[in-house]
Amino acid sequence: MTFDLDRIRAHFPALALQHDGMPRVYLDNPAGTQVPHEVLDRMQAAMVGCNANMHGNFRTSREATELVHQAHVAMADFYHAASPDEIVFGPNMTTLTFMMARVLGPLFEPGDEIITTHMEHDGNNTPWRRMAEDHGLVVKTLPWSRDTYEFDLDELHALITPRTKFASLNYASNILGTINPVPQMVAMLKAAGAITYVDAVQYAPHGPIDVQALGCDFLVSSSYKYYGPHQGVLWGRGELLDRLRAFKLRVVPDVAPDKFETGCQSLEGQAGVIGAIEYLQWLGTTMGSEHLHSQPGVPRRTAEIHAAMAAMAEYEYALSGRLIAGLQAIDGVQVHGITDPASFERRVPTVSFSRVGTQPSDVAGFLDDHGVYVWNGHNYALPVIEWLGLADLGGVVRIGPTHYNTLAEVDRAVELVAEFVTAH
Ligand SMILES: Cc1ncc(COP(=O)(O)O)c(C=O)c1O
């Protein structure tokens, strides 16, 4: 099945917009993606048709309650969770993670150890350091190699002790693009009895997730990175969610997910998440059919989403290859991440670079003058930028294509970077 970019792009109204008469080129996708009409339609239908709070005894409230339930069912399929009750919605990953740090902290004793890594977005770093401060825990940090841009699992092994109680792990880096060997890391930590919390925000737009196969205890992502609206979605192992003491109001039932979703939730946001899943299902069934395999115990919708991810990844390898080779050909540019096409299955298409003497913010500004949108700076991944030694130099320029970008758009970005470098 060919990957039909025209059909794909027609789903996203924003891709047709202009920037001062030039086509807009969205290469800021690691920060947030554009949304397809499935999402917009779902959000509008929710806001027009059942804009009410849940659990009332009237039609629109009943419909809102059902819609919210369906959003949990959809995300359970996205993560391949055992139950929709293991899905907790929140405004974003960071807020959910601060909440979980507050909830998990009392499980630990002073002197217990937690592990985090130098590859984290700060959203999977500071909440846990704060938890450690509040409960007298020792924080150990797993480095990554500045040669390979990957972890050395022997180094993880060396950090684990009988007192290791918790680890926060990055699935894919929002700067380097590296996809980490999370199943192996989780297995090592589980063997020591530690709780594992996986930040899948950058991985989720590019690869299939199966929390039951991963074996972790928590996993979190943000739907606005995979074509949905601004919503964070946490999965937690059922028996852990059940026994954790939530910060909830008396009137809220003491059951998951309700006890973690206290206060009125974003009905329109959760409706939009259903739309994002519908879009992925469309992609999986129309353009990923050769990857669509039924497996016993795996819902059809999960298989369709995984087929979409496989089809997207195949195409995204081509985008990464073109982008990385183009950037490396520019004098003085250093790409920070895996660059060998033979290893592209160990990276997402998020590509960051720096160049001595070139201010990342100036590059982003120059590209914006030409309608090309990219991020610069630390992108909240402070541990990564510090480990790269770029904290005082303005961080990196990050170019992040996704499956709706064309090769011509990537070429355009590379040409503009080259033009900027030549002129400065
Ligand atoms: C890897 C990673 N983790 C966490 C976050 C934070 O996500 P949110 O904005 O949903 O809090 C981001 C956002 O870019 C991210 O890239």
Segment 387-408, tens digit of pLDDT: 899 998 899 999 999 999 999 9
CATH value at residue 354 = 3.90.1150.10
CATH value at residue 146 = 3.40.640.10
| Residues 226 and 82 grouped into a single domain | yes
- Asked, for residue 286, whether it belongs to a domain, the answer is no
Q: Is the confidence at residue 374, as pLDDT, over 80?
A: yes
Give Cβ neighbours of residue 343 (< 8 Å, ≥ 6 apart). Answer: none
Output DSSP code: residue 228: S
| Residues 259 and 319 grouped into a single domain | no
**Which pLDDT score is estimated for 177?**
98
**Which pLDDT score is estimated for 294?**
86
| Residues 87 and 176 grouped into a single domain | yes
| Residues 44 and 31 grouped into a single domain | no
| Residues 25 and 63 grouped into a single domain | no
Distance 227 CA to ligand 1 centre (A): 14
Token pair of 75 as six digits = 């995300």
| Residues 258 and 396 grouped into a single domain | no
242: pLDDT confidence band, cut at 50, 70 and 90?
very high
For the whole prediction, is pTM greater than 0.95?
Answer: yes
Residues with CB under 6 A from ligand 1: 31, 92-94, 121, 123-124, 174, 199, 201-202, 222, 232, 380
Question: Going by CA atoms, what residue is nearest to atom 14 of ligand 1?
Answer: 31
- Asked, for residue 212, whether it belongs to a domain, the answer is yes
| Residues 104 and 13 grouped into a single domain | no
Token pair of 49 as six digits = 């048709």
Q: Is the confidence at residue 285, as pLDDT, over 70?
A: yes
Q: Which atom of ligand 1 is nearest to the CA of 379?
A: 14
Whole-angstrom Cα distance, residue 319 to residue 340? 13
Q: What is the CA radius of gyration of the chain?
A: 21
What average pLDDT is seen over the chain?
A: 97
Question: Going by CA atoms, what residue is nearest to atom 13 of ligand 1?
Answer: 31
| Residues 135 and 201 grouped into a single domain | yes
Give Cβ neighbours of residue 86 (< 8 Å, ≥ 6 apart). Answer: 76, 235, 236, 237, 238, 241, 256, 257
Q: What is the dihedral of CA 272, 269, 70, 246, to 10 degrees?
A: 150
- Asked, for residue 291, whether it belongs to a domain, the answer is no
- Asked, for residue 68, whether it belongs to a domain, the answer is yes
**Which pLDDT score is estimated for 1?**
61
**Which pLDDT score is estimated for 144?**
97
* Proportion of the chain above pLDDT 70, given as a percent: 100
375 to 110, 111, 165, 379, 395: CA distances (angstroms): 40, 39, 36, 7, 10
Whole-angstrom Cα distance, residue 230 to residue 90? 9
- Asked, for residue 288, whether it belongs to a domain, the answer is no
Q: How many domains does the chain have?
A: 2
Q: Which atom of ligand 1 is nearest to the CA of 173?
A: 1
Identify which of 117, 120, 121 to mutate to test ligand 1's pocket (most ligand atoms within 8 A of the CB). Answer: 121
415: pLDDT confidence band, cut at 50, 70 and 90?
very high
Whole-angstrom Cα distance, residue 323 to residue 326? 5
Whole-angstrom Cα distance, residue 95 to residue 100? 9
The range of the structural domain enclosing residue 366 comes to 5-35+300-423
Distance 375 CA to ligand 1 centre (A): 14
Q: Is the confidence at residue 137, as pLDDT, over 90?
A: yes
| Residues 167 and 269 grouped into a single domain | yes
- Asked, for residue 292, whether it belongs to a domain, the answer is no
| Residues 232 and 173 grouped into a single domain | yes
- Asked, for residue 319, whether it belongs to a domain, the answer is yes
Identify which of 92, 94, 396 to mutate to test ligand 1's pocket (most ligand atoms within 8 A of the CB). Answer: 94
